[in-house]
């Protein structure tokens, strides 16, 4: 019964819409322009977001995470052996290794950022490619240099592959005075350029680093290798659930997402202004329609139509306007994105610089079924909301007065 009445409402309203096709088209066009603006701006934001994330994936090692201590509830959550085991047990973690971080210097005072790690962790977690040499031997005073620090030592200190390099390790005596101890490390490997933090570090055996520190029980972090980029954020959430902080290239994606959320929100706000104009056009059109059909509405109510029937009939007309506006808006939005890709992409790529040069290889906008569905939903919902006032106004007409005074 309800379905039959709904079909009747749609049939009667379709007849009214057909009678005033040009007015309906122009009204729908008003809402369509707003929808096109929303579709275009959101697709631009999503396109830039997608391209930026893809560029980060190509240039960074997303599957490498470092878990470090954090402060929760006023208490420091240290890296303990139990935490290390819990991290290793997280789903999608392929390998993990605790690390010790230190700062040494050469005899010529070149600063060295040092990472003490189990040699097996170098292979399983860092997964290095060697420019020269090989991995450390466990328990040995050997070192593997990152690409950039190796170039620096060779250029300014003449250090080459295979050399025994004297390193100064700072200690403190019983009076708290600094004392530099000279320790010799043999350079057994140089990493290929990675474009990450490991280009700047010297890798040594973790046990040796702890021995030189004088504390073999503490750790500064845990390097984690995740099985695939798509699972990184789930692993990050699990790391944080253990009370630790997670760091890695994934933070670049988080920054991009936060930035693009703000950009899309701002662009959508300005696009929303055109939607307001479309809403006002619908309200004006339907109020005018009610005025022109006052007598017709009065007769309809006099022969048995209830106020609710009148409301449903008016809203059904608004539904048609929303459907037409949504379809037109999506089509105009697709055309708008085409214009952006053709004329706007060169400018945007030029402004972003070489880091995002890969943008030039694809579209700067991203149209998805979800965006088109949102555009259609916006058009329909706003059209129905816009029709509420005219519909309620029509439903409160006095049938006798409407028949006498109506047009």
Same domain? 236 vs 151: yes
Same domain? 52 vs 82: no
Same domain? 100 vs 235: yes
**Mean per-residue pLDDT for 361-376?**
84
Same domain? 225 vs 113: yes
- Provide the 8-state DSSP code for 164: E
Same domain? 32 vs 131: no
pLDDT of residue 407 exceeding 70: no
From CA 84, how far away is CA 203, in angstroms rounded?
20
Nearest to 202 by CA among 269, 268, 148: 148
CB 13 within 8 A of CB 320: yes
Which tens digit of pLDDT belongs to each residue from 123-142? Answer: 889 888 999 999 999 999 99
Same domain? 266 vs 329: yes
Which tens digit of pLDDT belongs to each residue from 57-90? Answer: 777 788 899 898 877 666 677 788 898 899 999 9
Same domain? 147 vs 241: yes
Same domain? 221 vs 87: yes
Domain endpoint, select from 248, 265, 286 = 248
Domain endpoint, select from 248, 267, 285 = 248
Per-residue pLDDT, 204: 93
From CA 114, how far away is CA 60, in angstroms rounded?
21
Same domain? 271 vs 226: no
From CA 250, how far away is CA 53, in angstroms rounded?
9
Domain endpoint, select from 228, 248, 268 = 248
Same domain? 146 vs 102: yes
**Mean per-residue pLDDT for 203-231?**
89
Same domain? 234 vs 368: no
To the nearest whole number, what is the mean pLDDT of the chain? 84
Which stretches of 242-306 are DSSP H helices?
250-292, 294-302
Per-residue pLDDT, 238: 92
**How many domains are there within the chain?**
2
Which tens digit of pLDDT belongs to each residue from 235-278? Answer: 999 999 888 899 988 888 888 778 778 877 887 787 778 788 88
pLDDT of residue 353 exceeding 60: no
Same domain? 178 vs 267: no
CB 250 within 8 A of CB 67: no
Whole-model pTM: value is 0.67
Q: What residues make up the domain containing 120?
A: 64-248
Q: CA 97 → CA 4, 115, 127, 215, 340, distances in Å?
A: 68, 12, 12, 18, 47
């Amino acid at each position: 019964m309800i379905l039959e009445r709904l079909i009747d409402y749609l049939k009667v309203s379709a007849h009214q819409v057909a009678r005033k096709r040009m007015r309906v088209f122009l009204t729908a066009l008003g809402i369509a322009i707003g929808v096109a603006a929303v579709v275009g701006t959101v697709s631009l934001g999503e396109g830039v977001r997608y391209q930026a994330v893809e560029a980060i994936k190509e240039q960074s090692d997303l599957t490498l995470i470092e878990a470090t201590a954090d402060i929760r509830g006023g208490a420091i959550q240290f890296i303990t052996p139990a935490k290390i085991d819990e991290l290793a047990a997280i789903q999608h973690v392929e390998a993990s290794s605790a690390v010790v971080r230190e700062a040494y210097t050469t005899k010529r005072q070149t600063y060295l950022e040092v990472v003490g790690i189990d040699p097996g962790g170098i292979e399983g977690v860092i997964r290095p490619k060697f420019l020269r040499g090989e991995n450390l031997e466990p328990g040995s005073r050997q070192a593997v240099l990152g690409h950039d620090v190796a170039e620096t030592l060779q250029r300014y200190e003449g250090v080459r592959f295979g050399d025994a390099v004297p390193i100064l390790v700072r200690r403190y005596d019983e009076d708290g005075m600094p004392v530099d101890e000279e320790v010799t490390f043999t350079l057994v490997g140089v990493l290929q350029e990675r474009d990450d933090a490991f280009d700047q570090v010297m890798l040594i055996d973790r046990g040796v680093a702890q021995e030189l520190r004088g504390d073999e029980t503490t750790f500064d972090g845990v390097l984690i290798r995740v099985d695939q980029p798509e699972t990184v954020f789930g692993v990050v959430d699990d790391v944080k659930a253990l009370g630790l902080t997670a760091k890695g290239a994934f933070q670049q994606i988080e920054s991009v997402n936060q930035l693009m959320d703000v950009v899309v929100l701002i662009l959508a706000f300005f696009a929303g202004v055109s939607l307001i104009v479309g809403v006002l056009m619908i309200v004006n059109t339907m109020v005018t329609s009610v005025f022109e059909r006052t007598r017709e509405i009065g007769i309809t109510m006099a022969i048995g139509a209830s106020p609710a029937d009148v409301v449903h009939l008016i809203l059904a007309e608004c539904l048609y306007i929303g459907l037409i506006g949504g379809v037109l808006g999506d089509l105009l939005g697709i055309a708008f994105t085409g214009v952006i890709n053709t004329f706007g992409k060169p400018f945007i790529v030029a402004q972003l610089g070489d880091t995002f040069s890969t943008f030039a290889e694809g579209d700067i906008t991203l149209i998805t079924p979800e965006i088109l569905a949102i555009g259609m939903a916006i058009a329909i919902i706003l059209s129905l909301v816009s029709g509420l006032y005219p519909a309620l106004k029509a439903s409160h007409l006095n049938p006798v007065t409407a028949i006498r005074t109506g047009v």
